[in-house]
Structure formats: C-alpha cells, structure tokens
Amino acid sequence: MSKTPSDKLHSLVRSLSPAEKRYFRIFMKGKPGVDNKYTQLFESMAADERFEEAKWRTLIYKGQDTGSKKYAELKAYLYELVLKCLLNYDESHTVHHRLNQLLQSVVALFKRGHYTDCRELLTKARKLARQYESFVHQIEIVRWEKQLAYTRMDIDFLHKNLERLQDEESRAMEQLSNASQYRRAFFQAYATIKKDPMQRGADRVARLRELVEQAAFASPDAAVSHTARVLYYRTLSLYYHTALEQEKFYETGKTLLALQESQPHFLRENLSDYIAALSNQILACGLLRKYEEVRECLEKIGDLQAITEDDRRKIHRQYFSGFFALCTYTGEFEAAQREMDRCLREAERFDPHEYETGSFYLQFVPISIGCGDFSTALDHLNHWLAQRRSVGREDLQSLARILSLILHFELGNFLLLDSQLRTAARFLKRKNRLHELERRFMHGIFEAIKLPDAKGQREVFAKVKNDLQPKAEEPETRALLQTFDLLAWLDSKARGQRFATVVHEKYWRETDHKAT
C-alpha cells in the first residue's frame, strides 16, 4: 500500500503571515547556492489553499519521472529551510530569543577571550531580562558575571559587586519560585473546572475555595512580580466565577485588566492571557448588565494585533461570541444578522481541525428569531445539532430542544409539535436535564397548541412566564437564559408583540434608559 503524502509542509507554509512569507523570500535570496525548485514549491504551496501534491510535483519536475524519493527529499529540505527561517524571524521579534542570542554571543566571545565585550552584552541582557521578568535568564546572567570575574581574577570587581550579584540571584530565584507557585495554583483551578464543566456542586467550589485560602492568596502583595500578580488575579477570577460571586468576579477582572494594561510591553510578547481576561470581563459585565463596559471590552479585542495563530483564533471567537451575545441581550438583532456572514467568512482562514465554527450557529438562532426569520433560525439550529457533540455542553443541548419547540410553534407546525414535545421530553429525561423550567415550559407549549384562539394562547404564555419568573436567578436556569431570553419570548407571546421589541424594552428598562 502506498504511503499517504504528508501535508505538513503545505500546512506550515499556509500558516505563515504575509510578513513571515516576505522574510522567507529575503532569506532565500541570501542563499544563492540553493536550487530554485525550493522557491517554486514554496510559492506554489503558498498560493494554493488545497493540498495539490500531484500538481506541484508536475510543476517542479516538468512532468519528468524522477521517483517519489527525490520529491520527498525536496519537501523535507524545504520544511527545514522554512523552520530555520522562522527561528531567525523569531530571534528578531521576541524577547526570549533576543536574550538567548545575547547569551549565546557571550559564550562565543568568552571562548575567544573577548571578556570586555562579554560584559557589555551581559549589561544589555540584564536590562532586558529585568524589564520582561525573565527570571531564568537573570540567574544565568549573574552566573556569567561571576564566571567572568573569576576567569580574569578580577578580585576588585568581586569585592565591590559580589553582594549585589548574590542579592540579584536570590531575588530572581525567589521571584521564579513565587511565580511558579501561582502558576501551579492557576492550572489546578483550571483543571478542576474543566474536568467536569457541568458539575457546579458544593464539592468543586469547596476544592477551589481551599486553593484560594492558601497564604499566597491572602493579599496581592504576596505575589512579588507582575507575572505572579497576573496569575494571582486570574486564579481568583476562576474561583469567583465558579462560586457564582458575580460582583467579585467583575471587580477581580477589572483589576486584572488594569494590571495587564499598566505594563503594555508584556502584551507585545504574549497576548493570550489578556485575550482571556477581556473575554471573562465581557462575561462578568454581561451578567451584571453593564453593557457599555461590554462594548468597551469588545472594542479592545477588535483592536488587538495577533502575535500567534492561536491569538488570531481566540480574537475572532471571543470578539464575535461577545458581539452576538451583546446584541441578543440588547435586542440589536439586525446588527448581529449583518455580521453573521462576516464571522463565518473570516473563520474560513483557520484550520478546521483547530477551529470549530459550530458553536456560532446556536448564537445565530436567537438572532434570527429576533429578526422574525424562523425558517433560517431552524436551519441554523439543525446545523448546530449536526455538529460533533464536543461542540456543545449538556446545558446547551437542553436549550437546543427548547429552541426547536419554539421555532416549530412560530412556524405553525402544530401537528409536528406534538411528537417533538415527546421526543424532547425523552431526551431531557435521559440526560437528567428535565428540570422544572423545561417541564413547565413544555407543558405550556402543549396547552397552547390545543387552543384555537390567540387570546387563550396569550393567557397560557402569561401564566407560564409568571410561574418561571422566580426561577430566573437559579443556577440551572441562568445558563439557559444567558444564551436565549426565554422569559422575554414568553412575554412577547403573552403580549402579542415581536420578540425583538420585548427584548429591547427590557434592555432599556434594566439599564435605566428611557425608551423613545
């Protein structure tokens, strides 16, 4: 059996940014002895979205039968060239690589006896390592300072600077250990939450509370570096969100963002934690109905310039997820509908194995309902239901069944609704998700479709809405209402008004605006 051609070179070339591709072309021009077949293959792969192995091989070798081994060797060497180029590119764009390069230069100069030049480079490296809290590099710099003095038998230097060097080394080691402690706590909290995202029981909250009641979390002053303080607040933020302490979740997130923004040079090196903090703050502001602050966070995410491919994926997902959620809360359904195509079009740039767009389709459903386009909403829902189950949490599976009932009711499919109600009830019961809200809602739909007149249906929906109103703040209900405002839909049916009108009125009322 022939071996399936590897697409890893094509995948790597396609992932390069325009700046990286330009850098590679310049890099290749500096290698005059390299066969131009490498450049031809690179440009062909950069231009083709699809993996076209036969096409490229024919193009490079002009249809000659050269054997698969020769072409495979060409690809392997080009892969190495691209990697080498990226290493050179990163050395000029990241602090970590610049520090490594400085210390490697110290090694080269030291071997050749250029000790004064070594010390000059160490001075540059120390300043950079301190600014970016690279504690490992700081320790290595101190080691080289001592080694230089020892090699040169510079007793005067050691007499004047040994205590300072010892203090620098001890301080860097303390900060490294301190940051490691907070990093360990953060990932313990993260793993506890993600292990079973639907389990919000007292046991899990207790485990997290035990974690944040350690002495390290008694005060932010216990975190002795910017790196450690960021981890301190990120861990607390995870705890407060899980414990449903919304005000503290919001305040901690606000403090975290201010801390990160106070040191912008760190953000030029690593955006991932800042994107996560903005995303969490959008959630916190949404829960507390601070919608103007949601807009501010969305604007910040939209203005970010990605550093890594992972950043690009996260910026896209967090921006559009937050934007669609905001529009769903405020009733700006038409604005959201205009952005849906752009969201999916931009998502096509990402590797489908690394980025799933399925979760957006569930957000598209309430948007289409708000626009009165129920057939399209049903298409979006069916598209979401057809996704792999990893796309949606169990609570969202429950919501999907409720949305299906709503859409069939709006479309007047009353004959189909009878069987849909039974199917939904069986599904929710099997998943242990048939809670009071779901049970009462489905009973209301069943009663409404049996009534021939609109007045009787409005009375049924008004009763269901009043029955469910007290349950709106319960944890089991809140997760559902964050994605779709079921109470607003019931209210719209009870009052005979458009869903969008009711949601918009509710938004203005809750945010102390006066409807015009």
Shared-domain flag, residues 475 and 406: yes
Above pLDDT 70, what percent of the chain?
Answer: 90
Specify whether 246 is located in the same domain as 107.
no
For residue 55, give the amino acid letter.
Answer: K
Say whether pLDDT at 258 is over 80: yes
CATH number of the domain residue 299 falls in: 1.25.40
- Given this model, what pLDDT does residue 89 score? 82
Residue located via tokens 């993600």: 194
Res 418 pLDDT > 80: yes
Q: Please indicate, yes or no, if residue 193 is contained in any of the structural domains.
A: no
Residue 172 placed within a domain: no
Q: In the predicted model, what is the mean pLDDT of residues 61-75?
A: 73
Provide mean pLDDT across the span 432-445: 79
Averaged pLDDT of the chain: 87
Please check whether residue 249 is in contact with residue 255, taking contact to mean a CB–CB distance below 8 angstroms.
Answer: no
Residue 115: pLDDT band by 50, 70, 90 thresholds?
A: very high
Q: Per the domain annotation, does 196 fall within a domain?
A: no
- What percent of the chain clears pLDDT 90, i.e. is strictly above it? 53
Question: Is residue 480 predicted with pLDDT exceeding 70?
Answer: no
Residues 326 and 454 grouped into a single domain: no
**CA atoms within 13 Å, Cβ hemisphere of 388:** 7
- Count CA atoms closer than 13 A to 358's CA, side-chain side: 18
Domain containing 147: what range? Answer: 95-165
**What kind and span of H or E run contains 350?**
none
Asked if residue 400 and residue 337 are part of one domain, the reply reads no
Of 304, 324, 355, at which residue does a domain stop?
355
What does the DSSP 8-state code read for residue 348? Answer: T
Do residue 225 and residue 348 come from a single domain? yes
Considering the domain architecture, whether residues 480 and 516 belong to the same structural domain is answered as yes
What's the average model confidence in pLDDT over 310-316?
93
What are 483-499's pLDDT values in tens digits?
889 999 999 999 999 99
Q: Give 190-224 as a 3 state SS string.
A: HHHHHHCCCCCCHHHHHHHHHHHCCHHHCCHHHCC
Given this model, what pLDDT does residue 396 score?
Answer: 77
Q: Which of 42, 59, 91 is the last residue of a domain?
A: 91
Name the residue among 427, 426, 422 with its Cα closest to residue 445: 422
Q: Is residue 368 part of a domain?
A: no
Amino acid at 385: L
213 and 349 share a domain?
yes
The Cα 79–Cα 81 span in angstroms is: 5
Q: Would 362 be classed as within a structural domain?
A: no
Nearest to 214, CA basis, from 249, 184, 244: 184
Whether this prediction's pTM lies above 0.95 is answered by no
> Would 434 be classed as within a structural domain?
yes
Q: Output the CA torsion 244→247→253→255 (10° steps).
A: -150
What is the predicted pLDDT for the residue at 34? 59
For residue 472, being part of any structural domain is answered with yes
Looking at 91, 112, 129, which one is the last position of a domain? Answer: 91
Residue 514 has pLDDT above 50, yes or no: no
Q: Are residues 260 and 139 in the same domain?
A: no
Predicted confidence (pLDDT) per residue in 333-368, tens digit: 999 999 998 998 988 888 776 677 778 899 999 999
In this prediction, residue 66 has a pLDDT band, given cuts at 50, 70 and 90, of low
Q: What is the pLDDT of residues 263-277, one digit of tens each?
A: 999 999 999 999 999
Whether the predicted pLDDT of 461 surpasses 70: yes
CA atoms within 13 A on the CB side of 228: 20
Q: How many domains does the chain have?
A: 4
Residue 392 has pLDDT above 50, yes or no: no
Q: Are residues 126 and 259 in the same domain?
A: no
User: Has residue 268 been placed in a domain?
Assistant: yes
